[in-house]
Amino acid sequence: MNLIAIDTSTDWCGVSFFFEDECKSTIEKLIPRKHSELLPEYISQVIKEEKIDKKVLDAVAVSVGPGSFTGLRIGVGFAKGFAYANSLPIVPISTLEIIANDPKINFENFSVNLFSHRDIVFNQEFKNKIPTSDAKAISWNQIKSNNNLVHYGCEKLIEEERALSVHPAAKVAGELAIKNFDQWVVIEPYTLTSNYISPFQVENK
């Protein structure tokens, strides 16, 4: 499968190009508040460097959240426009599943925690990198302390030494899109929406 994968769900911005299921090129940088400026540039750079004929592309993959409201809006909006303009389907990828499938993770049971604001994080449980719970927004003190912790942006909340910091990566998003294409693909890209998981629904107990 040939596709372009995009992740802008945090202050990182990443673009990866896959040809025949293999990642050929990745541009990934920490660029807080510059996604709208640099994402189109990264896409153009990858297309130019890899001499990509858009006609060979099978799909566009994009992280759809949870994550930064602005980052998701930019990434998903750009992916939808690119897919629509090139008559491509789009593959939405959960940000927490992208983090969970990072090759650095070797835990069997673990939770992924992505910082939202104050003491609120987006949380999901995994076993062997497969989700065992729904993604939700919760306060940090609600997280099960007996689980291994994988996180991004939670340094000020974490006390456990075993916590592993991992940022969502476009390369992993692309790998998940290829693996799960038949189950996750959206044929009409304009119908896609981000999964913000509003933290304002959190109840303090």
What string of pLDDT tens digits covers the 205 residues of the chain?
Answer: 999 999 999 999 999 999 999 999 999 999 999 999 999 999 999 999 999 999 999 999 999 999 999 999 999 999 999 999 999 999 999 999 999 999 999 999 999 999 999 999 999 999 999 999 999 999 998 887 667 999 999 999 987 666 899 999 999 999 999 999 999 999 999 999 999 986 554 444 4
CA pair distance 69, 91, nearest whole angstrom: 19
What's the farthest any 2 CA atoms get from each other in the chain?
A: 55
148-152 vs 109-117, strand pairing mode: parallel
Q: Which of 133, 93, 91, 97 is closest to 114 using CA atoms?
A: 97
CA pair distance 149, 88, nearest whole angstrom: 37
Q: Which helix (H) or strand (E) holds 137?
A: strand 136-139
Q: What is the DSSP letter of 162?
A: T
Backbone angles phi, psi at 162, to 5 degrees: -80, -5
CA pair distance 158, 87, nearest whole angstrom: 44
Q: What's the whole-model pTM score?
A: 0.93
CA pair distance 93, 200, nearest whole angstrom: 23
Cβ(200)–Cβ(122) below 8 Å: no
Q: What is the pLDDT of residue 202?
A: 44
Cβ(186)–Cβ(86) below 8 Å: no
Backbone angles phi, psi at 7, to 5 degrees: -135, 125
Q: What is the pLDDT of residue 124?
A: 96
